[in-house]
Every structure is written in structure tokens, then in C-alpha cells.
Structure 1
Amino acid sequence: MAAIGLVTLTATSGFTATAPKPSWRLSDTGVTARFRGLAPVSDKVAWVAGSGGTILRTVDGARSWQRVDPPGTAELQFRDIEAFDADHAVALTIGEGDQSRLYATADGGRSWKESFRNDDPAAFYDCVTFTDRRHGLALSDPVNGKFRILATSDGGKSWAVQPSTGMPDALTGEFAFAASGTCLVTADHFGSGRAWFATGGGERARIFATTNGGRTWRVTDSGIPSGPSAGVYSLAFRDPWHGIAVGGDYAVPETAPDAAATTRDGGRTWTPARAEPGEYRSGAAWRGVTTALAVGPTGSDISYDGGRSWNEFDSGSFDAVLCAGGSCWASGEQGRVARLHG
């Protein structure tokens, strides 16, 4: 990657003569898996999970990576991973029927327990998130007309399908996108019980929200265009009120009008971005109180005003982006993992 440089102030660049332009610094992972699952813990510790049953872990800030796959998963596709520290992580594989599974480790990936295997051919799990170290949720596409939620209260060691009585009806053709592990998110890991998930595929792209750990949900339109391969692909909340939604159409990644929005009321209402990335973006993350990132296969964007306007700073391909411990990480195809500088 190019070295960090300074850019001249222009009317549209979004960067100043004194502020460095951010850039991604790639790490050599030694593999070619596509990493849609990303879980940074600190500036030193991060996990990635992807195709071919591949899971990697670093404990030295991406200078080296250890392969820590669960045994017997080479034919499975990991799409999400949640990590609490260098030892504890929960990973999700996707697919119809029993291809959707959850695995948990408590020893840095030296051993894994398969803690859930889907036995409903109508279910297809997309994302997993945790509200604290013990309480987590996993999201399936609609079953019998409603999105399905799994819940754990023991850190992912066991999971139970939740009643659907508190879930609004799904639209015809509506589903979630297993693109970056951020179709289902929480605002923090402090047990607030708040979570959100995003959809597309149907007539409207919508965002569901819970304030009680997934027992009941409310839903609102995002304003982002929807279609068979279009909708909201990623959510990011920096607190219970301020959130970002990004998406587009993965079948037409070079153009995505109106495919970014923000909320300031916990997802009750969404406002279109004044200047959106303009291309399909599959991942979003907060870097600070007002700074946010978005990534996709055609590039990366940064916002300095809480997601209201975006500027592209990199043209490389990434699927997921997350920040932790003051460091931001991105992951994607061909084993690409990078840390943000500048």
C-alpha cells in the first residue's frame, strides 16, 4: 500500500492540508480465504473467519497469524466471528439446513465446541452478535414468515430458538445479507439488551430493533433502495442512539445511489446521507464520536460527520471493517487483512 500522505484541501476531498489521508496497511496472512468475518479485540489481538472453514488469530498486531480452524469445517463457510479476548470467540457458518452452525472456543482456537447445528431446512443463519460476554443473538432469514432469533446466555456454549411472537412479519422476499457479519449488531458489550438487524431483498429495506435482548422487535424503513440483491448490508452503532446503515446492490457494485443513512434516535427514524459513498458497501464501523468507515469490493470511504457525508480514500477490495482498542481493521477476499493508518 502507498505510504500515508498529505493532500491539498479541495471543495470535495474531505481531507485537509494538515490532516493525513488514511490508508490501509495490508498484513500477510499466508492464505487466500475470503474473510467476511472480522473480530478485532485490541490493537494487538484480532480474529478473522472465512471461506474454506478458515479462522486465523493474531496476538501481535498482525505481524503474524495462527490458523486455528475447528476440525472438520473445510467445506463450510464462516461469515461471522465474535471475540472477547485472545482466548474466547464464537464463530458462525452459513448455509441451508445443517450448514448453519455455531462454534465456541475458550483456549485461543486450540479446541472448539460445536454449540449449535441448525436442523430446520427453512432456516439460514446470517449473523451473530453479543450484548455482553454471556448474552448473544444469532439471526436467521424468515421461517414461516418471520425472522428467527437464536439466543445464548452462557457465552455461546449453548443456543435456543426464541419464540416468534414478538417479531414483526417479514415482507415477501425479505432476508438479511451475510456479507460482513454486521447485519445484526449491538451498540456495546455492556448488557444493554439493545440490538438491530438490517434487511433487503423485498419491497423495502428495513431495520429491526430490540431493547430487551431480542424478546420483542420493532421495525422501520431505512430509506435505502431494496431489491433481489439490494438493501442494507451493514449497521454500526456507536451508542444506543447514533447509528449508520450502508448497502447497495452487490450485483452492481459500482453504483449505489442513496445507499447510506444515519439515525440519532436508536433506529426509530433514518435520514439519507447528504453525500453517500455512491458504490455498494458491505461493512461499516465507527472510529470515534464523529468518524466512521465504510468498505466494499470497490473501495473504502471515511466520514468525519457521523455518516452524513462520505469520501473515498482507498480503491482496494474489503468486505468487513471494525474498530477496537483504538485500531481499525478490514478484511476481505484473497486473504486480505489490513489495519488503518492515518
Structure 2
Amino acid sequence: MKKLLPFLFSFSGVFIFSQQIESFETILNDKISIRALEVDADKVWYSGTDSKLGFVNVKNVKDQKQIKLSEDKLQFRTLAQDKDSLYAVNIESPAYFFKIDKKNLKYQRVFTDMSKAAFYDAFHFVNKKLAFAFSDTDDNRLKLTMYKDGQWSFFENKIKLNPGEAAFAASNTNIASTRKYLWVATGGKSSRILRLNFKSEEIKIFNTPFIQGESSQGMYSIDFYDDKFGIAVGGDYTKQAANINNIATTNDGGETWQVQASGQNAGYTTCVKIKPNSKGKEIISVGDQHISYSSDFGKTWKKISDEKGFFVCKWMDENTVVFAGKDKISVMKLKF
């Protein structure tokens, strides 16, 4: 049974940055690991372990519902949405793509990937007619499942990944897009940016100065404010305190990257999100061991909480961020 445990300012470390934190409240407690969030008006949608998917209303936490998409204990680390529906795909093989009606939570399977190597790291809607899901593959090729104009298919391309190059299903955020581009971040023994131009359908690949070379290293999360400015975070999940070459920004759409705050940040980071309407200046990030904030385009960072167990974050508005992870969803109100 789910239990609500609302409380304010009880997270350790929150007073480090308390002049900007108005409140920090847990709105959902459950036995679940959550690595994917979507926000629709006042509802926070989530997917996670044990085939669970649900929502909680931030303004009325009693307004919540949870379902199981399968009798099997599937693990979901992806979630995407259009106006009327949610979409999720599990990480195991076979990979089942589910479509869930937001109004009544009725669901159906709409696509299946039978590949033995199927492991979906992120699912992302570019617009209401176009979406991409990124999966591991057994032949070092770039594997994107595409939803376009109501049809599901594998996106045809000739891109080969480097040996040991893969991705991380850490927070459903190693894909980002604008109207012009789609970016995919890889990690492992090679950590690169793949950029798809929607108009030309050309994919370009760019090297990064990110920490890489081991299967646990590389970019875990990216976000772009526009066609030019973007940020990437990550590190090494086996060395959570390591903070060298684990944050980088770009000002040319991902072609070149500049390492930021190397040796001067809170370490391994699983999710990064740019504040709406900030032009990229204000950014929040989260890792298993911290929540951090930047107010200068990612150049410097302040740890605002030592709270552990969050994997993913998402802005609800310019003053509100929702976090999720191990057994909980929490909401932070910020003052500026």
C-alpha cells in the first residue's frame, strides 16, 4: 500500500541553499524505483519497477492512481507523452511498447521489439507526430525506434557505434530535441553526441571531452535550451564522488563541448534540466547522492541537498521541480 509522507525541510543538507528553497515535500512513497517522469499540468506521471505506472497530483496528493502494465515484473525506465496518451517501454527483451490513455489509464501494446539485445534507455517525443526511443543493440549499430504519424518502425541509418559504446537508462534523458535537431548521448568506452537533422535526415557524430573509456563512464543525461546551447552530465556510477570531466556544455549545437566545473562539483550525476525561460542560465541536476544548482550556464555549481536516492528531475514551472528515485517522488519549491 502506498503511503503519503508530506514534510517540509526535513531533508539533510537542504539548508546549505535554504535562502532559495521555499519547501521540499514528498508526495509519494511506494516500493518502486523511478527513473522516468512526465509532467502534464498539475499531474506528475511516473513509470518504474514491478510494471508500475501512475500519477500523483501536486496540488492534491490524494488525487493519485497507479496501475500495473503487466502481470510480469517488468522494469520501466522510459516514459513519453503526447496530448492524450503516455508511452512506456520496458528494458528487458522482448521490449513491449505500451500506450496508456491519460483519462482512464486503459492501455494496450502497440509495438514489440523481439531483439535479444533490446534494452531501451530513453523515449522522447519531438512533437505530437514524432517520437524516438533509443536501445542497446547487438551489432554496434545505432538503434532508434521511431513513431511517426501513428506508425512504428526502426529508424533506418548506417551509423556504427564504437566498440563498448552504449547508453545509460538512468533517467530517460539521454535524448533531447528542438524543432531542428535530435541529440543522442552515448557513454561507456566511447562517449559521443549523435545529432540528427530533421530536414536533411543526416546524422553527424561529435566526440566529447567527457570522462570515458570504462563501461560505467560517460554522459548520462543531456538537455538543450535551443539549437545551440546544451548541457551534458554524468560521470562514473561506480565512483560516485569522482567529479573530473563529468559536466560539459556546448554553444554550437553539440559540435564542440567545453568541460565545466571539473573537480568542483558534487560528482556522479544522472539527470540535468534547464530552467524554463532562463535561456540556459539556470540549471538543476540530480545524482544518487546530491541535488545541485547552477546559475551561470553550468560553469559553477552549488550542492543544495545531500538527499540520496533521486535519479530523475523535471521542472513543473519556473519555481517548481519534481524529483523521483528510490521509493519516492518529491517536489521542491524555489524562490528567486
TM-score with structure 2 setting the length: 0.87
Deviations 1:158-216 (A, max 9, x none): 42012122x2x2111110100000011223xxxx15211111111x3111111217943
Asked if residue 179 in structure 1 is aligned to residue 179 in structure 2, the reply is no
**Separation in structure 2 between the aligned mates of residue 2 and residue 258 of structure 1, nearest angstrom:** 32
Shift of 1:152: 0.6
The aligned counterpart of 1:61 is 59
Report the structure, 1 or 2, having the larger strand content.
2
In structure 1, distance between residues paired with 2:202 and 2:194: 10
Counting aligned pairs with the same residue, the percent is 23
Q: Deviations over 1:37-56 (max 9, x none)?
A: 111233x1221111111112
Determine the C-alpha separation between the residues in 1 that align with 2:74 and 2:65.
16
- Counting only pairs closer than 5 Å after superposition, residues 124-143 of structure 1 correspond to structure 2 as 124-143=119-138
2:95 aligned with 1:88 = no
Residue 156 of structure 2 aligns to a residue whose secondary structure is coil
The worse-fitting range, judged by mean Cα deviation, of 204-213 and 172-181 is 204-213
Query: Normalising by structure 1, what TM-score?
Result: 0.85
Residue from 312, 315, 318 that aligns with 1:323: 315
2:139 aligned with 1:151, yes or no?
Answer: no
Structure 2 contact 29–327 (Cα < 8 Å) conserved: no
The within-5 A match list for 1:100-139 is 100-108=95-103, 110-139=105-134
Q: Assess if the C-alpha contact under 8 Å between 1:47 and 1:83 holds in 2.
A: no
- Secondary structure of 1:20's partner? helix
Structure 2 residue 307 is matched with structure 1 residue 282:
no
Shift of 1:67: 2.9
Q: Kindly report which structure 2 residues correspond to 1:190-205, keeping only aligned pairs within 5 A, or say none.
A: 192-202=179-189, 204-205=190-191
Q: For the structure 1 residues 73 and 136, does the alpha-carbon distance in structure 2 shift closer, same or farther, using more than 3 Å as the test?
A: farther
1:161 partner amino acid: F
Residue 83 of structure 1 and its aligned partner are, at CA, apart by 2.8
The alpha carbon displacement at 1:74 in A equals: 4.7
Residue 203 of structure 2 aligns with which residue? Answer: 217
Check conservation: 1:54, 1:74, Cα contact below 8 A.
Answer: no
Aligned length: 319
What is the CA distance between 1:80 and its match in structure 2?
1.5
State the shift of 1:316 in Å.
Answer: 1.0
Specify the SS of the correspondent of 1:333. strand
Structure 2 residue runs without a partner (length 5+): 1-7
Which amino acid counterpart does residue 334 of structure 1 have in structure 2? D
- Aligned counterparts of 2:331 and 2:209: Cα–Cα separation in 1: 31
Residue in 1 aligned with 2:4?
A: none
Say if 2:28 and 2:56, in contact at 8 Å, map to a contact too: no
Paired residue secondary structure (1:281)? coil
| Match runs of 1:68-79 below 5 Å | 68-79=66-77
